[in-house]
Structure 1
Amino acid sequence: MNVKILCVGKIKEKFYTQAIDEYAKRLSKYCSLSIVEVPDEKTSENASDTEMAIVKDKEGQRLLKHINDRDFVIGLAILGQQLDSVAFSKYIENLGIQGNSSIVFVIGGSLGLSDDVYSRCDYQISFSKMTFPHQLMRVILLEQIYRAMRIMKNEPYHK
């Protein structure tokens, strides 16, 4: 299975980078993982709704360039479906059974995903109703993908 994490912005903090590297190393046993970062747009503190929409659209177009027609796209969205770890694992496993060998998870920037990106998503998932920094969300997502793979292989995992 090919898993791509497609995200807006670079990771600047060393502790996030270390956690991402650790989970990428662990996941190499289970899947082919790639992480693609697209540049974020600068947004002023008092940006209007129109300016924020323009920012999301620019970031969205950058994200869409990295999605192929055959990719199964899962957008991370506050209003997406909330699953526990076992259900998430079963969902990913079923995608593979159905022939979806390329899964792309999309993490938006500070303003979220554009409407065009949401339209391209085959599924939307939420890890919480809370908002997380996109850098931390990348770590959380990788940990949950790793946990899902261990569950699929009937390997022990922390409940």
Structure 2
Amino acid sequence: MRLVVVSIGRLKQGPERELAERYRERFDDIGRKLGFRGLDIHEIPESRARDAATRIAEEAVAISAAIPEKSVLVALDERGDNLDSSAFARHLGRWRDEQAGHTIFTIGGADGLSPDLRRKAKLRMAFGAATWPHQIVRVMLLEQIYRAATILAGHPYHRA
């Protein structure tokens, strides 16, 4: 199974991009041994529309175009479930074992994800009740994907 993070907005050069890349590389090292075919990041430019509804709709079209058929869709959404790392690892392991071709993680822009994308998601997850910048959400997501792989591998990185 290939994992893909589809995110509105670009991470500019700097510490957030470096940290995101570090977790992506760490996942690649351990993930292949666990049957994952890689972790890609697909950045989509933010809509320049004047109103939020149009921005959300335009970004939803771009996100949808990046989702292959029969993918597992995970929406990062402040109204989503707060999962602990072990539960998240169990989801990834189950989808891998069910031979899902892709698991797509979507991170919306400043206005969030469209209701349609949230409805289509097999899992809607949040990183607590706080509102986070989408650049930080990407780093947190990549760390959790790496942590899930270490849990699945029985690696000591995760200490509960």
Provide Cα deviations, 1:41-83, integer angstroms capped at 9, x if missing partner: 2366xxxxxx211110011111100001211000001111111
Larger mean Cα displacement after TM superposition, 91-100 or 125-134: 91-100
For residues 49 and 16 of structure 2, the distance between their equivalents in structure 1, rounded to whole angstroms, comes to 23
* TM-score under structure 2 length normalisation: 0.90
For residues 150 and 64 of structure 2, the distance between their equivalents in structure 1, rounded to whole angstroms, comes to 30
Identity of aligned residues (%): 30
Q: Which residue of 1 aligns with 2:105?
A: 105
For residues 127 and 98 of structure 2, the distance between their equivalents in structure 1, rounded to whole angstroms, comes to 24
* TM-score under structure 1 length normalisation: 0.90
Runs of 4+ in 1 over 4 A off after TM superposition: none
In the alignment, residue 91 of structure 2 is paired with which amino acid? Y
How many pairs align?
153
For residues 13 and 131 of structure 2, the distance between their equivalents in structure 1, rounded to whole angstroms, comes to 19
Which of 24, 41, 45 pairs up with 2:47? 41
For residues 79 and 138 of structure 2, the distance between their equivalents in structure 1, rounded to whole angstroms, comes to 18
Tell me if the contact between 1:40 and 1:59 (Cα under 8 Å) persists in the aligned partners.
yes
Where do residues 38-77 of structure 1 align in structure 2 (5 Å cutoff)? 38-42=44-48, 51-77=51-77
Tell me if the contact between 1:57 and 1:116 (Cα under 8 Å) persists in the aligned partners.
no
RMSD: 1.4
For residues 127 and 16 of structure 1, the distance between their equivalents in structure 2, rounded to whole angstroms, comes to 17
Unpaired runs of 5+ in structure 2?
none
Unpaired runs of 5+ in structure 1?
45-50
For residues 74 and 156 of structure 1, the distance between their equivalents in structure 2, rounded to whole angstroms, comes to 26
Provide Cα deviations, 1:133-152, integer angstroms capped at 9, x if missing partner: 00011000000000000000
